[in-house]
Structure 1
Amino acid sequence: MRPWLTMSAPRGVGALQLETVPVGVPLGRAWLRLFGVLPFDYDDLTIAELEPGQRFHEKSTMASMRYWEHERCLVERGGSTEITDRITFVPRWGLSWARPVLARVVSAFFAHRHRRLARYFERPR
């Protein structure tokens, strides 16, 4: 997400490793920051389900979202990996009017992430 957006780890959890992430337990508040500096939202992060190397399913709340659900699936397809992100969200009451705009922003954000991931993993190692 850099350089435009960063997300901190919840306070007190240290460096999260997939093998040790508590599932179904609120992990705490992860701050989203513009340019890595300016906090503009937070995610009260909970990993609801986890299959390391294949899938995670996050169910959280945010300052801007009454409900945020993110499921990422990784599927091997003929020597490459297909990434699918499914996002479901419900804005807070004051932002309900903005749902169509938020949907476009979230869609554009994840499309950007997928392009960046594709470029990163296409590089020779």
Structure 2
Amino acid sequence: MKRTWTFTQTSEIPAPMAAVWDRVVSPEGINDELRPWMTMSVPRGAEGITIDSLEIGPPIGRAWLRLFGVLPYDFDRLSIAEVEPGRYFREESTMISMRRWTHQRRLEPIDDGRTGVTDTITFSPRLGMVLAGPLLHRVLPALFRHRHRRLAAHFANDG
């Protein structure tokens, strides 16, 4: 049975790279992308952080995932493994449901001041969740398509 899954989502965002980067590394931007389906808390003691201001490597704590922004259902033991400020980050985390969660986000400039955003997700459900892998491999790409639509809409409405 397959235990590790990967997918990629790429979109063009109608904004310059610096503005997109500032949005995608902030807790406010991350939660806006996830709404209304879910939100993610900031770990205790990490208020005011952004992904590019975190120390590389050690976990920063538990970021609770909340269904509809209210009901906690999982947590992300969040670690940033790599950052190229303004261009790229790689999150390597574990969750209650995942023994491995890797989220890579890359930004690239496109003509006319637009930005290409590519997310690559690799995940391995914990043993009790392995049978959920095929379902998660359908649900999680849908969530990331939603995130990209929300990100694009933020800048389309901003203009």
Aligned pair partner of 2:94 in 51, 55, 61: 61
Matched, 1:97 2:136: no
Identify the residue that residue 26 of structure 1 maps to in structure 2. 59
Aligned partners of 1:18 and 1:52 also within 8 Å: no
Determine the C-alpha separation between the residues in 1 that align with 2:78 and 2:114: 29
Aligned runs of 1:38-117 on 2, under 5 Å? 38-78=71-111, 79-117=113-151
Bigger mean CA deviation after superposition, 11-20 or 102-111: 11-20
Task: Specify which structure has the higher proportion of strand.
Answer: 1
> Across the two proteins, how many residue pairs are aligned to each other?
125
Identity %: 55
Alignment-mate amino acid for residue 28 of structure 1:
G
The SS at the match of 1:56 is strand
Match status 1:8 vs 2:8 = no
Paired residues of 1:65 and 1:92 also in contact (CA < 8 A) = yes
Provide the aligned C-alpha RMSD in A.
1.1
More helix by share: 2
Q: What is the CA–CA distance in structure 1 between the aligned matches of 2:61 and 2:135, rounded to whole Å?
A: 27
Runs of 4+ in structure 1 off by over 4 angstroms are: none
Q: TM-score, normalised by structure 2?
A: 0.75
Q: Separation in 2 of the partners of 1:109 and 1:6?
A: 12
Which structure's relative contact order is higher, taking Cα pairs within 8 Å and 6+ residues apart? 2
TM-score of the pair, normalised by structure 1: 0.94
- Is the Cα–Cα contact under 8 Å of residues 58 and 69 in structure 1 kept in the other structure? yes
SS in 2 for 1:13: coil
Q: Which amino acid aligns with 1:65?
A: M
